Chain A
Amino acid sequence: MKSRYDVLVIGGGPGGAVAAGDLAAKGHSVCLVEKRPAIGAPVRCAEGIGKDVLKEFIEPDDRWISSEINGARIVAPDGVSMTLEQQMAGSKVGYVLDRKVFDRDLVWQAASKGAEVHVKTRATGAIVEDGAVKGATIETCGQTREVRADVVIAADGVESKFPRWAGMDSAVPMRELMSCAQYILTDIDIEPAITVFYVGNRVAPEGYAWVFPKGERTANVGIGISARRARDGNRARDYLDRFVAAHFPEGKTIEYIVGGVSVCRPLPCTVADGLMVVGDAARVADPMTGGGIYNAMYTGRLAAGVASESISAGNCSRASLMAYDQAWRHSKLGKTLERNWRIKEYFITLSDEKLNAVVHSMARMNLREFSVFNLVKELIRHNPRLLLELKGLYDSLSAD
């Protein structure tokens, strides 16, 4: 490891890998550090991603695609379900990935473009001089050294610390942290091309349970609940065990993971002098779905572009790097995050009775015209009593 690079990337997930690869491809010296001893492990993800958005970054490869998905089903608290099939969902079909292989592929690509990669190597602090980030202290096997860079890209995930060391408050509000647990269950009866979402306050308060196929008889079966709803005996893993006992008592668990997903608004500002924050660390996971793979790659790519220009111009100040913050915030992604946050804030208030009404309305809709906007209209038509509380949501969506 050298003592100076153009860019230091903290974290070897999809956001960090795409940023590192793009910057190396532009000829910059790049160092990516990953605190874990292996890229991609342990997995902290339900592994779903849309086909269309994935292709913006990488050609699909059988080595890291576990399943191809052509429909999604939502199951109401009363058991009534509605299914969005491929032709109705349009581009809203996707893959369930094998993140262990996928993440390695992204980092391999970054390395092949010239990025340095170091595993079991972590940042322990920020080097801040005159209020500007100038690099990081980097620790490997008990040895700490200073590594300087024109720009540090913090891609350090949901447990992100680097922006905090640099003076940003990036703590997730407890009520907006989804506390999650997931098993890979095998030898279970599933529909191998359908992702299933179970909603309801008894199933998963303020969250949902999911079944994401990873093969003919294997799936990621997981659950996320708001941390504020967790109690002894009613934590994410307890909810998951009850869900599995009810739906897949025959299942065999071959992997068990836990994790947190932020469903808050993104950081109010994702840059500082010499610093850019991307992906989960920037709190850009989707507040409705919890999906974050694409959002991390997207912000990683935008950050790389702005970092490259700023380095070439010899100006890595907050003002210069701000082009990145503005770009993602005004992008389709940024607008979707804001809209979905507002929808999420409404949905977490719903009783099981109202959640039933939502799913029943969806089941009645002409799904060729499916959109959240049309769903709200349909809900009001069939549930006039919801009109008042839906009006605020409807207005905020109409404004888009």
Chain B
Amino acid sequence: MLVIHRECCGYCGACVSVCPEGALELIDAFLTVEDSCVGCGICTRACPVGALEVTDEEPV
């Protein structure tokens, strides 16, 4: 699943622009992930600060 490290996130939206599923959205100063996220990790490469991480954890 995709983990957002909110303490690092600069809420810039770079990740939103590359998400092939349209699963990310930037709402003012916070980022949301929808269930349509497939954990492809493309967004983790776009992030300028490393605030996104795909982990093995199952969503709770």
Q: Which one of A164, A174, A235, A259 lies within 8 Å of B18 (CB-CB)? A: A174
Please state if B12 and A44 are interface contacts (CB–CB under 8 Å): yes
Question: B36-60: contact bitstring with A at CB < 8 Å (1 yes, 0 no)?
Answer: 0000001001111110000000000
Question: A215-242: contact bitstring with B at CB < 8 Å (1 yes, 0 no)?
Answer: 0000000000001101010011100000
Q: Which one of B16, B20, B42 lies within 8 Å of A159 (CB-CB)? A: B16
How far is A230 from B18 in the complex, measured between Cα atoms in Å?
Answer: 14
Nearest-CB distance from A267 to chain B (Å)? 12
How far is A35 from B13 in the complex, measured between Cα atoms in Å?
Answer: 13
Please state if B13 and A235 are interface contacts (CB–CB under 8 Å): no
Please state if A180 and B48 are interface contacts (CB–CB under 8 Å): yes
Please state if B48 and A122 are interface contacts (CB–CB under 8 Å): no
Nearest-CB distance from A206 to chain B (Å)? 13
Please state if A35 and B12 are interface contacts (CB–CB under 8 Å): no
Question: A131-162: contact bitstring with B at CB < 8 Å (1 yes, 0 no)?
Answer: 00000000000000000000000000111110
How far is A164 from B19 in the complex, measured between Cα atoms in Å?
Answer: 11
Please state if A179 and B46 are interface contacts (CB–CB under 8 Å): yes
Chain B residues in 8 Å Cβ range of A42:
11
Please state if B49 and A235 are interface contacts (CB–CB under 8 Å): yes
Chain B residues in 8 Å Cβ range of A363:
none
Please state if A159 and B28 are interface contacts (CB–CB under 8 Å): no
Nearest-CB distance from A281 to chain B (Å)? 9
Nearest-CB distance from B13 to chain A (Å)? 3
User: Are A120 and B28 CB-contacts (below 8 A) given A227-B45, A228-B45, A237-B49?
Assistant: yes
Chain B residues in 8 Å Cβ range of A260:
12-15, 17-18, 46, 48
User: Are A236 and B20 CB-contacts (below 8 A) given A179-B14, A258-B12?
Assistant: no
User: Are A258 and B28 CB-contacts (below 8 A) given A180-B48, A181-B49, A235-B47?
Assistant: no
A79 within 8 A of partner (CB):
no
Interface size class of A (residues with CB under 8 A): 20 to 34
How far is A172 from B11 in the complex, measured between Cα atoms in Å?
Answer: 18
A171 within 8 A of partner (CB):
yes
Chain A residues in 8 Å Cβ range of B20:
171
Please state if A235 and B28 are interface contacts (CB–CB under 8 Å): no
**A259: nearest residue on chain B (CB-CB)?**
B12
Chain A residues in 8 Å Cβ range of B12:
44, 159, 257-260
Chain B residues in 8 Å Cβ range of A174:
18, 42, 45-46
Chain A residues in 8 Å Cβ range of B15:
260
User: Are A230 and B46 CB-contacts (below 8 A) given A35-B28, A159-B26, A172-B17?
Assistant: yes
Question: B1-45: contact bitstring with A at CB < 8 Å (1 yes, 0 no)?
Answer: 000000000111111111110100111100000000000001001
How far is A120 from B16 in the complex, measured between Cα atoms in Å?
Answer: 19
Interface centre among A159, A179, A232, A235 (most CB of B within 10 A): A159
Nearest-CB distance from A362 to chain B (Å)? 29
Chain B residues in 8 Å Cβ range of A257:
10, 12
How far is A298 from B8 in the complex, measured between Cα atoms in Å?
Answer: 35
**A229: nearest residue on chain B (CB-CB)?**
B45
**B42: nearest residue on chain A (CB-CB)?**
A174
Please state if B17 and A159 are interface contacts (CB–CB under 8 Å): yes
Please state if A179 and B13 are interface contacts (CB–CB under 8 Å): no
Question: A252-290: contact bitstring with B at CB < 8 Å (1 yes, 0 no)?
Answer: 000011111010000000000000000000000000000
How far is A164 from B26 in the complex, measured between Cα atoms in Å?
Answer: 14
Chain B residues in 8 Å Cβ range of A354:
none
A37 within 8 A of partner (CB):
yes
Which B residues form the contact surface with A (CB < 8 A)?
A: 10-20, 22, 25-28, 42, 45-50
With A35-B28, A237-B48, A257-B12 already in contact, 15 other A-B pairs whose C-beta atoms are closer than 8 Å: A36-B28, A122-B28, A158-B14, A159-B13, A159-B26, A174-B18, A177-B14, A177-B46, A179-B14, A228-B45, A235-B48, A257-B10, A258-B12, A259-B48, A260-B46
The 7 lowest CB-CB distance pairs between A and B, nearest first, are A260-B14, A159-B13, A236-B48, A258-B10, A159-B16, A258-B48, A227-B46
